[in-house]
């Protein structure tokens, strides 16, 4: 099994791994066998930071999971296909796929779209956004980011793309803008950087 990365969905978190003060809704989610999502936080060797997702936006619980407890892993890249749907977020996924497929980078849906595609549980609504991750191991020019954003902004709903660099993630919308520094999210926290791809080198 591959090493879990942010946004991957994991199955197998045992109830016994949850803290004593875990809310009832989170206990029910884990007991029903639903997956947890890998989040961006530092952990000891052999552990991965994960989040339990409830039915509403305020139902989010951060915890940790032993790598040895992982029974199954689904990455965003494995969730790219979807059938025709009345939900704007899924329509946006279908319209964005040809564009992203031609950029030469690995990508996939995250957030509610990824969760629904992976589990079959209906969490989307008419106002749902489409969240995507775009793996960018090498620098993407700001001009190219703006070109991509202009195309994606024609979709049936708002699309938020996280560029996953070796040092962490930065929003495509920010990188396509004019600000000299952008917010980079890493396991060690968030910080402003001028070049997300050089940030790993600077932090070493």
Contacts of 187 (CB under 8 A, 6+ apart): 40, 41, 42, 49, 168
- Specify the 3-state DSSP secondary structure of 16: helix
Which residue in 20, 58, 101, 131 is the catalytic one? 131
Q: How far apart are CA 27 and CA 31, in angstroms?
A: 6
As given in the structure block, the two tokens for residue 70 are 């992982």
Active site residue 58: no
Q: Is 69 a catalytic residue?
A: no
Q: Which residue among the candidates 129, 150, 153, 195 is catalytic per the annotation?
A: 129
Short-list 80, 85, 81, 4, CA closest to 39: 4
Contact (Cβ atoms closer than 8 angstroms) between residue 30 and residue 15: yes
Phi/psi-derived region of residue 111, left when phi > 0, alpha when psi is between -120 and 50, beta in every other case? left
Residues 116, 118: Cα–Cα separation, whole Å: 5
In whole angstroms, give the CA distance from residue 27 to residue 14: 10
Residues assigned a catalytic role: 129, 131
């Amino acid at each position: 099994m591959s090493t879990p990365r942010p946004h991957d969905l994991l199955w197998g978190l045992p109830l016994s791994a949850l803290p004593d003060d875990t809310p009832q809704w989170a206990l029910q989610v884990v007991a029903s066998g639903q997956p947890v999502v890998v989040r961006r936080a530092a952990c000891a060797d052999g552990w991965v930071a994960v989040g339990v997702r409830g039915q509403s936006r305020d139902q989010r619980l951060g915890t940790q999971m032993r790598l040895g407890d992982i029974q199954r892993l689904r990455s965003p890249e494995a969730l790219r296909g979807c059938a025709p749907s009345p939900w704007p977020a899924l329509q946006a996924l279908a319209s964005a796929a040809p564009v992203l497929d031609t950029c030469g980078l690995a990508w996939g849906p995250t957030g509610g779209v990824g969760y629904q595609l992976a589990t079959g549980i209906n969490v989307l609504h008419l106002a749902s956004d489409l969240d995507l991750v775009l793996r960018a191991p090498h620098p993407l020019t700001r001009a190219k980011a703006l070109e991509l954003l202009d195309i994606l902004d024609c979709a049936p709903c708002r699309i938020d793309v996280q560029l996953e660099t070796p040092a962490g993630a930065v929003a495509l919308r920010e990188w396509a803008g004019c600000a000299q520094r952008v917010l980079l999210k890493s396991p060690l926290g968030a910080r402003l950087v001028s070049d997300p791809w050089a940030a790993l080198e600077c932090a070493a």
